[in-house]
Every structure is written in C-alpha cells, then in structure tokens.
Structure 1
Amino acid sequence: MEIITADLCDEFREKVKIADPIFKMFGKRKSFYGPVHTVKVYEDNVLVKKALQTIPEGSVLVVDGGGSTRCALLGDNLADIAVTRKLPGIIVYGCIRDSAEINQMDIGVRAIATHPLKSIKQGKGLEQVAVQFAGINFEPGAYVYVDEDGILVSEQPLV
C-alpha cells in the first residue's frame, strides 16, 4: 500500500509530527511506513546490524547517528539484510554508503548524506530508546510514514 504524507497531514493534522526536511532519498521504495524501532549510536553500526537482523518484519528502523557526517552507518550489505527480512525502510540521522547499490534495492532509505568510509565496530549505543532529531521525537512503537514529501510520526497507526 502506497501512502501519501500530504493526504495524511490533511486528514490527521493534529495527530502527526513532521520531521524537518533534511533527508535525502535512497532505494527503490519512494514511500514506506511501519512501527518504529530505534537505535542510538555514534559512528558505530554494530547495533544497526543487530536491529536489522532482529526487529519484526514490516518495521522501520530509525537510526540516531548523532548527525555525524564522518562515516557511514549503513551500506549495501546491511540494506540487503533489511530487504531479505521484509523491512520497508530505514531512516538514518547520519550517512550511508554504497548508495548506487542501495538505489537498486527494494527498500526505502532516508539519510542526511553519503560517505565512503565505514563505521567502527565496537557495539556501543542504545536500543529501543526515544530519539530526537529533525525537530521531532521518534518513540519506539510509534508509527512513521515516509514519502517524497516528508516524514511523519504518529503515536497511533493511521492506515
């Protein structure tokens, strides 16, 4: 099912929070939605991989990478895990790499930039905590709706 964030804003204006428009679009899926699962990391993607391997099918992984533009937190190998596990999308408040490959995959990815350097692998960070970036809060269990026009978050499912 394709969602249209403009229509959701029109119908549920008081129920949605809208992220600041700071993200670039990657992957074949231009729209996606699902329940939010979070990780909070900084230049370390071990928990990103773990989450992609374990969160429920249909979930959207929201990665608070602290906005770092010094390395990538997601590349084609991790995106492939998400595709295989039928995750519709990933939002990264940080960078990705292998964007040409990701753009050929059946997934939606939003990130602030690309960077060719991979992250460190120490396993530091937090899982399933509320994260704040782009002017809004992403709470585990909330619902996120994404298309070419933006990112919306709602406490309740809208579709």
Structure 2
Amino acid sequence: MSTVPFVTCDLLDDHPEKDIQVVTPSMDGKFFKSYGARKSFGGQAVTVKCFEDNSRVKELLATEGAGKVLVVDGGASMRCALMGDLIAESAVKNHWNGVIIYGCVRDVDAIAALDLGVHALASIPKKSNRKGAGETDIQLEFGGVSIQSGDYVYADNNGIVIAKEPLAAL
C-alpha cells in the first residue's frame, strides 16, 4: 500500500507564507469522511461537476491518473452515490492517488480495502443515473474554497487543503 509523507496540519505549519486554502466543515453538518485504504493522499486536481450523474466520474477514472486526485462537486446530493467499488477499482487500476466527492459513495466496505484515497460526505446504497451530464476541468466552489484543475490537493483525516503549487513530494 502506498503512503504519502505528509500530514495536512504540518503542511499548513511548514508553509505559513503560502496561499493554502482549507476546506471547512459547513454549518449544515456536511463533513468529509475517509472511505479508502489510503488515509493520506494528494496530487494535482482534476475537477468535475455533476449532479446525481456519475458518467464523467467513471470516464475520468478510467484514464491514466498517476499523481492526480479527482475532485467531484456533486452538489452535496445525499440521494445517490457518485462512485462505487467498480469505479474505484478502475481508479486504482489507472493509478489515481485519490478521489474527493462533495456527495456520496457506495460499496464502502469494498472501497475501504482499495489502495485509494477517498473522501466523501456520506454513503448511500443507491447508484446514480448515467445520462452523460457533467462538466470537467472547471472551477469548483464548496467548503469555502475554490478548486480548479491543476491545483494541488492534500487530504488526510485532519482535513483537505488546496494549494496552487506543490507542498510535499507525492
């Protein structure tokens, strides 16, 4: 299993001069939870915005992802999952470092066994519909931060931080 040599707290402490954004828990109880076997992960962000349709998530995670983290704005929907075990297995096969979903996942026991970082708001057994909807490589805004493809994302059990340049070797 891969390990990433950082703790988000230390990244913030070690780089006070850098413009680092921290995803904040919202007042309405939306907190990210770790679901994957990798408890810390990071990489260059690839962004996708989709609401209750995981077509783009599936497509992107089926491409080469070495050194990357897929950041998904699912509109915080609690009605269906945007990733399950089969799509997560595809991400591992294609070398993605992790996935952050502002929404839900499913098949959490299977995902917990995969060498992949996964943060999401919750789990739900219902899968999403696939209609081919969604936008990629756009600026996302949730949790008090702005994220765009090419930014650097670092996540662990302390939280998620975003920077414009690398903060740690990945």
Shared topology, TM-score over 0.5?
A: yes
Paired letter, 2:161: L
Deviations 1:107-133 (A, max 9, x none): 110000001000001011100101011
What is the aligned counterpart of 1:84 among 88, 93, 102?
93
Q: Which has the higher helix share?
A: 1
Q: Following the alignment from structure 1 to structure 2, what is the Cα–Cα distance between the partners of residues 142 and 96?
A: 23
Aligned partner of 1:16 in structure 2 is: 20
What is the aligned counterpart of 1:101 among 104, 107, 110?
110
Give secondary structure in 2 for the equivalent of 1:36. strand
What is the aligned counterpart of 1:113 among 122, 145, 169?
122
1:3 is aligned to 2:6: yes
Structure 1 outlier segments of 4+, above 4 Å: none
Question: Under a length normalisation based on structure 2, what TM-score does the superposition of the two structures give?
Answer: 0.91
User: How do 1:54-69 residues align onto structure 2 when only pairs under 5 Å count?
Assistant: 54-69=63-78
CA drift of 1:55 comes to 4.8
User: How do 1:108-147 residues align onto structure 2 when only pairs under 5 Å count?
Assistant: 108-147=117-156
Q: Following the alignment from structure 1 to structure 2, what is the Cα–Cα distance between the partners of residues 8 and 98?
A: 31
Does the CA-based 8 Å contact 1:26-1:103 persist in structure 2? yes
Amino-acid identity (%): 44
RMSD of Structure 2 on Structure 1 (CA) = 1.0
Question: Under a length normalisation based on structure 1, what TM-score does the superposition of the two structures give?
Answer: 0.97
Give secondary structure in 2 for the equivalent of 1:2. coil
Give secondary structure in 1 for the equivalent of 2:15. helix
Does the CA-based 8 Å contact 1:143-1:155 persist in structure 2? yes
What are structure 2's unaligned runs of at least 5 residues?
26-30
CA drift of 1:54 comes to 2.1
What are structure 1's unaligned runs of at least 5 residues?
none
Aligned partner of 2:53 in structure 1 is: 44
Give secondary structure in 2 for the equivalent of 1:70. coil
CA drift of 1:56 comes to 3.3
Aligned length: 159
Does the CA-based 8 Å contact 1:73-1:95 persist in structure 2? yes
